[in-house]
Amino acid sequence: MSELIAQSPADPLALAREWIPASVHPGPLMTLATIDEDGLPDARSVLLTELDADGFHFHTDLASRKVAQLRAHPEVALCIPLVAEARQLTVQGRAREADAAELARAYAARPPYLQQLAWLNSHEFAELPQPERVSRWQAFAAAHPDGFAQAPGWTGFVVEPVRMTFWFGSTETASRRLEYRRGDDGWRAHVRAG
């Protein structure tokens, strides 16, 4: 058995939680890749809002293009670069919508800016001239001095992984990857070239 496998947890989600501590909230930016209505790949950055035994959680606007894509094709990929540590985590999995309890918990944990963003981040708002956008943003904040209730157009997803690949960079030797694949009997790990 490889020394890298021997030193790593059997559950890749445990290793992911070592790499991305729960104290970092919201978590890092990650690239979410989906499949569009023409079968082409689509990608964008989203915030990792939670990482637990179920998988990787993120939240977004219900009217966004990615929500329609996820509902049609729940198969996704994530890429989480951890540049300062010379590491990268990639994930293949399936996304499922978060339940109401998780949405409430996640929304309450968001900073005020991200809560307000859930209310105002619309195509109509984006089309406004910058001075009007700033004015409306400030007016909305002033009208809600006690905070923002959960926005009705806000939702979330959990990506349940089937493959997780941990890339270890190095300036002293070649990089390498630790790849986990989920099978019927649980996770299996393999070391791969970087």
- Output the domain CATH number for residue 189: 2.30.110.10
The pLDDT tens digits of the residues spanning 77-129 come to: 999 999 989 999 999 999 999 999 999 999 998 889 999 999 998 889 999 99
Q: How many whole angstroms separate alpha carbon 117 and alpha carbon 107? A: 11
Q: Measured on CA atoms in the order 47, 175, 33, 73, is the torsion positive or negative?
A: negative
Query: pLDDT tens for residues 33-68?
Result: 999 999 999 999 999 999 999 999 999 999 899 999
Q: Is residue 26 predicted with pLDDT exceeding 80?
A: no
Q: How far apart are CA 184 and CA 143, in angstroms?
A: 53
Indicate the average pLDDT of the chain. Answer: 93
| Domain-embedded: residue 74 | yes
- In a domain, residue 167? The reply is yes
State residue 6's pLDDT score.
Answer: 87
Res. 27 pLDDT band, cuts 50 70 90:
confident
Integer Cα distance of 97 and 77 in angstroms: 16
Q: Comparing C-alpha atoms, which of 141, 145, 142, 135 is closest to residue 119?
A: 141
Please check whether residue 8 lies inside any domain of the structure.
yes
Residue 125 within a domain: no
| pLDDT band for position 4 (cuts 50, 70, 90) | confident
Q: Indicate whether 58 belongs to any domain.
A: yes
Helix/strand/coil for 96: strand
Domain range for 27 is 3-110+152-193
Instruction: Specify the number of domains making up the chain.
Output: 1
User: Would you say the pTM of this structure is higher than 0.85?
Assistant: yes
Q: Looking at the domain assignment, is residue 165 inside a domain?
A: yes
Residue 25 in this model has a pLDDT that exceeds 80: no
The answer as to whether 49 is a domain residue is yes
First to last CA, the chain: 18
